[in-house]
Structure 1
Amino acid sequence: MTDFDLSVSFKAVASVTLILFSVIDIVGSIPIIIDLRQKEGKIESGKATVVAGIIMILFLIVGTQILNLFGIDVNSFAIAGAIILFLLGIEMILGIVLFKSEPDAGSGSIVPLAFPLIAGAGSMTTIISLKSEYSEMSILLGIILNLLFVYIVLKSSGWIQKKLGKGGANILRKVFGIILLAIAIKLFKTNI
């Protein structure tokens, strides 16, 4: 394991934050979040944010070593994440349930919300890629800034759902289901 690089600059943090923001795409995930809220009854915003944060920070520090330990390359990991995203997209478009969860367990806050939606293959591979260009501290700060925004979006998802209404949420769900399928296919094609 290498020493943690503590150097930081505003420009690096801003770049990392914007890159991770576009990959995590929490705003684009609002239809999925609303769908999970409908299925589960509630979303544990804090729990999902903390779990996603732990996953991303651990991956920043020891991600490459963990994958190497299991003999998994980054591309295979990304393909596995692409398959999960693909299934989520199918679920959204067809209105079927593939990811079953126990209503009282709140597991939807962990799978598929914290992983793979927030801390998925895309964000993890991005974190590994960013290490070649930015310091670990800059990446860590970028992760934390994104997690704050994720928490705000998750916390306000009930309000967003009320503003959209049932019809608006259904339309948004189908549209973003197709976009999620496209992202999954792109991830798959890129890493195959």
Structure 2
Amino acid sequence: MDFDLFVPSFVTLFVVMDPIGISPLFMALTQGMNAAKRRAVAIRACIIAGVLLTLFAFLGEGVLNFLGISMPAFRIAGGILLLLTALDMLFERRTQRRKDQSEETESDEDPSVFPLAMPLIAGPGSIATVILLAGQGDGLAGVGLALVVMSLVLVIAFVLFNAAPLLERLLRETGIKVVTRLLGMLLAALAVQFVLEGLRDFGLMG
């Protein structure tokens, strides 16, 4: 595994998946559940999201080749998508959409599949990021990198889900907003880097 790629890859997927931002919504979706049931929901959500992202890590580039889309083109498109996600985080539109999605499923007894696993964890941004990460290495090396990074982020998400009540008490609403905006700034820079790498692969930049 290329450790020079590991850190930026981990940071990218962590910021896109945003387990810190999802944790308060997890608490809202599981409100009234006992600790055992809440833990079961967290496990199911992370496993389902992991399966979805794994499928895209293995098949994503193959699907792109079938459609005649080059990896540089997808890298640029993915960078633009990540930039839009970053702007949503900076201006709090992403948080509001997640709140709307959680409110729509308040009566659902098991929110592990929807909206937790998808689209909150394995959303379009996470899927695009996994495909991009899998395409960074040669052959299975890129896929392995994507899977390791994805697994670590999902483990962190699971831990934060179980610590959601404590996290909410520590950060409060203002603290969560500050952290979300900081992550948004970092994601914007990483998104621009993806676009620049795609342009370089096309030969448009030296």
- Specify the TM-score bucket, using the shorter chain as the normaliser: 0.5 to 0.7
Match status 1:125 vs 2:132: yes
Q: Which amino acid aligns with 2:96?
A: V
Contact 2:49 2:121 (8 Å CA) reproduced: yes
Aligned residues of 1:85 and 1:181 also touching (Cα < 8 A): yes
For the Cα contact (< 8 Å) 1:34–1:158, is it kept in 2? yes
Alpha-carbon distance, 1:22 to partner:
2.5
Q: Deviations over 1:118-169 (max 9, x none)?
A: 4344x543433x2xxx322112222222232223222222332233342425
Q: Quick one: structure 1 residues 22 and 189, their matched pair in 2 at CA, closer, same or farther if it must change by over 3 Å?
A: closer
- Paired residues of 2:12 and 2:190 also in contact (CA < 8 A): no
2:46 is aligned to 45
What is the count of residue pairs matched by the alignment? 172
Farther-moved stretch of structure 1 (58-67 vs 134-143): 58-67
Aligned to 1:33: 22
| 1:26 and 1:153 in contact (8 A); partners too | no
RMSD across aligned positions (CA): 3.4
Contact 2:23 2:164 in 1 (8 A): yes
* Aligned CA distance change for structure 1 residues 155 and 127 (closer, same or farther; 3 Å): same
TM-score normalised to structure 1 length: 0.67
Structure 1 spans left out of the alignment, 5+ residues: 1-11
Q: State the identity %.
A: 12
Structure 1 segment 42-191 matched on structure 2, within 5 A? 43=42, 44-63=45-64, 66=67, 68=69, 73-91=74-92, 97-99=96-98, 100-101=100-101, 102-103=104-105, 104=108, 106-116=114-124, 118-121=126-129, 123-128=130-135, 130=136, 134-187=137-190, 189-190=192-193, 191=195
Distance 2:183 2:8 in 1: 18
Quote how far apart the aligned CAs of 1:26 are.
6.0
Tell me, yes or no, if the aligned pair for 2:133 and 2:146 is still in contact at 8 Å.
no
* SS at 2:69 equivalent: helix
